[in-house]
Structure 1
Amino acid sequence: MPTIHPLGMKRVPFLAGLFVIALLGGCAGVPATAPAQGGGTLAAAPALPRQGATDYHVVRADSQLRLRVYRAGPLAALGHNHVISTSDIGGVVYVQPKLERSGFELYVPLKSFVIDKAALRAQEGKGFEAEPSVSAREGTRARMLGSAVLDAAKYPVMTLRSLGMVGPPWYPRIAVRVTLHGTSHDYVVPPALFHAPHGRLVATGGLILKQSDFGIKPFGILNGGLRVRDSVDVSFHLVLAPPGN
């Protein structure tokens, strides 16, 4: 198996640090706290640094965005925790010779989300042992994409837009604007960045999103006795490749 080296552990081009797609670097400084306020209160995002950049793309087959959604309420034992995943991550990372000038914009079609793959539930361990039936998974996905939750028909895509990055190239702090359900929020994400064979870049990390921050009311039944927890754990493993790779 080829070795993957943390950025900074060996001398690599500065652009390798770019893997700002940690969910994800741009031109501006990184806010001190995360998340920032959403909606119309956000400052305009800096222009993407396309000129003179090397365009990296996401290698979908080797990348994954994973969300863990947890049951809540006094009747939580009657429900399931869920693993939601997708590898359908598109967009471009614009890698400049100087890391702090790089940027990206990524997008995820909401209809690409898959509910409760058995292998992923097994990886998550405690709290994910029971496997929902096929009908339960289909019902969960339909509710999630429906008008009462994500409303994928009206808001079909989640976008991730770079705002800025500071820190060392192997463990930077990256400011990213997440737009979902017609609302945007800014976060600071500290990914681990790696330089991989064949000129590829790898980023792993995570963050916590609140559904209510995006105007989404967490699903619930039985007068809230069984409901979905507002906060959602998000993790990512992203592989970027240069042109022709």
Structure 2
Amino acid sequence: MSPGRRGLLALALALLAGCANPPPAPPSAAEPAGGNALRVLVFRGGSAARLGHNHVLRAGDLRVDWPAAGPVLSFRLDALDIDPPALRAGLGPAFASAVDDEARAGTRANLLKALDAAAHPEVVARTLQQLGEGPRRAVEAEIALHGSVRRQWFVVEVEGRRARGEVVIRQSDFGIQPFTVLGGLLAVQDELVVQFEVRQP
């Protein structure tokens, strides 16, 4: 690799590391409070994607209400737990790379900037309707993120008082420009996988 190319990659990695004084990360919890949990899988992209990391984000302050239509989930972006080691370890080889405290701090700073968290600090997912019976249901939810509101269908598995589901959302659908540097040399993909598990009280 030429010196110029090495310098370009070093600059990109430095930019991904974030600012010098990022907001402090919230403490990790071994188990989600009340049996409720939500995590977001973020996938690396760009022509030099192999130099980056996939990320997992956990909603550190997830709140769940249960009106008649179904659960309403909400959390603050500045309370996201970035790349908790125990979660990464459980996600297999795609998340096996080590992410140190400095890298997590940089990811947090870049994430909050890309999501404009100061202006839009909260994410809310509100159940609109449920279709079907038995353990698998089709659920329509209204998702409020980044000042935009979108409706989306997904599948939920119900077992007793517990429900778990997974949905793919695109950042661009909510007016968010996925993070990228140096013309796409390093980036995150537009699509995010949101996984959740909630328990009815």
State TM-score, norm by structure 1: 0.66
Return closer, same or farther for 1:202/1:142 CA change in 2, 3 Å cut-off.
same
* 2:40 counterpart of 1:73: no
Pick closer, same or farther for the CA change 1:91–1:124 going to 2, 3 Å. Answer: closer
Of 166, 173, 196 in structure 2, the residue corresponding to residue 236 of structure 1 is: 196
Aligned with 2:168 (options 194, 204, 208): 208
Q: For the Cα contact (< 8 Å) 2:135–2:159, is it kept in 1? A: yes
Question: Deviations 1:46-104 (Å, cap 9, x if unpaired)?
Answer: xxxxxxxxxxxxx8342210111011111001111101112422242124xxxxxx334
Larger relative CO (CA 8 A, sep 6+): 1 or 2?
Answer: 1
- The structure-2 alpha-carbon separation of the partners of 1:105 and 1:64, relative to structure 1 and needing over 3 Å to count, comes to closer
Aligned match of 1:219: 179
1:123 paired residue among 90, 94, 105: 90
> Are the equivalent residues in 2 in contact too, given 1:61–1:87 (CA < 8 A)?
no
The 5 A counterparts of 1:1-245 are 60-95=33-68, 102-146=69-113, 149-195=114-160, 201-241=161-201
Structure 2: tracts of 5 or more residues without a match: 1-31
Whether contact under 8 Å (2:60, 2:81) holds in the other structure is: no
Q: Which has the higher helix share?
A: 2
How many percent of aligned residue pairs carry the same amino acid?
Answer: 35
Q: Which amino acid aligns with 1:68?
A: L
Q: Could you list the per-position Cα deviations for residues 105-143 of structure 1 after superposition, in whole angstroms to 9, with x for gaps in the alignment?
A: 331111111111111001111211111121110010111
Q: Specify the code of the residue in structure 1 equivalent to 2:66.
A: V
Distance 2:138 2:158 in 1: 11
Structure 2 counterpart of 1:126, which letter? P
SS at structure 1 position matched to 2:117: coil
Q: Distance in 2 between matches of 1:134 and 1:106?
A: 28
Look up the SS of the partner of 2:102 in the other structure.
Answer: helix
**Which structure's residues are more often strand, by fraction?**
2
Residues 172, 191 of structure 1: 8 Å contact kept: yes
The residue identity in structure 2 corresponding to 1:240 is Q
User: What amino acid sits opposite 1:237 in the alignment?
Assistant: E
Shift of 1:183: 0.6
- Residue identity matched to 1:159: V
Q: Is the 8 A contact 2:169 2:193 kept in 1?
A: yes
Residue segments in structure 1 that go unaligned for 5+ positions in a row:
1-58, 96-101, 196-200
The one-letter amino acid of 1:74's match is S
Structure 2-normalised TM-score? 0.80
| 1:188 alignment partner AA | W
